[in-house]
């Protein structure tokens, strides 16, 4: 009986493994041309300046509506795209469409900036900065309205090359944000090595009190905000979900916030409506 059970457990494992593998292969296969088939879109999540109460920026978040699998999270397909060598194509689609949206917003007289997420593999591709410059120029968008968000991985060895690309982008006027700071691989070390303009505090730090007993009352957000400002960086708190979190983050000195408490990722139309509703000047 035990043997039987063991066997069926292995079969169950095989089936599950098959499904995972199959899904992965389908995703990898279908990612090609997903942009041309109009399955991709960008959702824009507002970034709010607490002092004025106004939306000052928006992060473009990639969405993929697969015809059979439904909506697939970027956390899942971006990694597959990286491993399958498809991230260049995907990233180019993201930059192109972010710049289109930026151009439309800029023509309406807005100074709203937009950020796009880029994978390290994209940044390392030859002539990456040139292509960004060309896309901005083609759309008539001031480079200062574009922010590129990057997350460093543990494997980043070619810091010198990476820094070079970031320097070129910054010389154009494009700003660089270090995403998910304080979680995973993002660390203090990078801040010393990489030229960045903006720090985005990971939502884990915003949402939860530190777990380690030694850190129980350590104001981690406060420390990161102070550090960021000392380095001359702008600091954005990510994942602000409640009024309480907003208050904590604000009292920690963080002026810029992003999170469901303010707004989730929106369609361009929804973002536009919110921007029209907001006061021209909102003294607090």
- Judged by the rule CB under 6 A, the positions of this chain that interact with ligand C2E are 45, 61-62, 73-75, 78, 94, 116-119, 149, 179-180, 203, 239-241, 259-260, 265
Instruction: Please tell me whether residue 179 binds Mg ion under the rule CB under 5 A.
Output: yes
When asked if residue 152 is in the footprint of Mg ion (CB under 5 A), the reply is no
Residues 127 and 140: their CA atoms lie apart, in Å, by 20
The interface partner of residue 239, options being ligand C2E, Mg ion, none and the CB cut-off 5 to 8 Å by kind, is ligand C2E
Min dist. Cβ of residue 45 to Mg ion (A): 9
Q: How far is the CB of 282 from ligand C2E (least distance, A)?
A: 22
Q: Closer to Mg ion by CB, 82 or 149: give it.
A: 149
CB of 102: closest distance to ligand C2E in angstroms?
14
Contact of residue 265 among ligand C2E, Mg ion, none (CB under 5-8 Å per partner type): ligand C2E
Question: Which one, of 246, 248, 268, 244, lies nearest residue 257 by Cα?
Answer: 246
Q: How far is the CB of 251 from Mg ion (least distance, A)?
A: 22
Q: Of 40 and 145, which CB lies nearer to ligand C2E in the complex structure?
A: 40
Who's near 196: CB < 8 A, 6+ residues apart? Answer: 166, 176, 177, 178, 233
Of the candidates 55, 62, 11, 19, the one whose C-alpha atom is nearest the C-alpha of residue 279 is 55
Cβ(95)–Cβ(132) below 8 Å? yes
Residue 149 binds Mg ion (CB under 5 A): yes
Cα gap 64→62, rounded to integer Å: 7
Per the CB < 8 A criterion, the answer to whether 60 and 98 are in contact is yes
């Amino acid at each position: 009986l035990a043997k039987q059970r063991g066997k069926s457990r292995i079969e169950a494992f095989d089936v599950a493994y098959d499904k995972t593998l199959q899904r992965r292969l389908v995703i990898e296969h279908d990612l090609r041309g997903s942009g041309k088939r109009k399955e991709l879109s960008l959702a824009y999540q507002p970034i709010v300046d607490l002092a004025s109460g106004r939306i000052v920026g928006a992060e473009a978040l990639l969405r993929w509506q697969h015809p059979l699998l439904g909506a697939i999270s970027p956390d899942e397909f971006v990694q597959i795209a990286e491993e399958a060598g498809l991230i260049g194509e995907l990233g180019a689609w993201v930059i192109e469409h972010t710049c289109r949206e930026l151009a439309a917003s800029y023509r309406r007289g807005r100074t709203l900036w937009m950020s796009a997420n880029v994978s390290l593999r994209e940044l390392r591709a030859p002539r990456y900065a040139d292509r960004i410059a060309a896309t901005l120029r083609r759309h008539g968008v001031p480079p200062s309205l574009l922010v590129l968000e990057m997350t460093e991985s543990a494997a980043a060895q070619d810091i010198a090359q990476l820094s070079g690309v970031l320097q070129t982008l910054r010389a154009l006027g494009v700003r660089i944000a270090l995403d998910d700071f304080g979680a995973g691989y993002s660390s203090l070390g990078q801040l010393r090595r990489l030229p960045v303009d903006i720090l985005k505090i990971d939502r884990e730090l915003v949402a939860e009190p530190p777990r380690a007993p030694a850190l129980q009352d350590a104001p981690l957000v406060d420390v990161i905000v102070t550090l960021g400002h000392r380095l001359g960086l702008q600091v954005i708190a990510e994942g602000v979900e409640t009024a309480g979190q907003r208050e904590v983050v604000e009292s920690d000195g963080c002026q810029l916030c992003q999170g469901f408490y303010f707004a989730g990722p929106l369609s361009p139309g929804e973002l536009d409506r919110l921007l029209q509703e907001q006061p021209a000047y909102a003294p607090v």
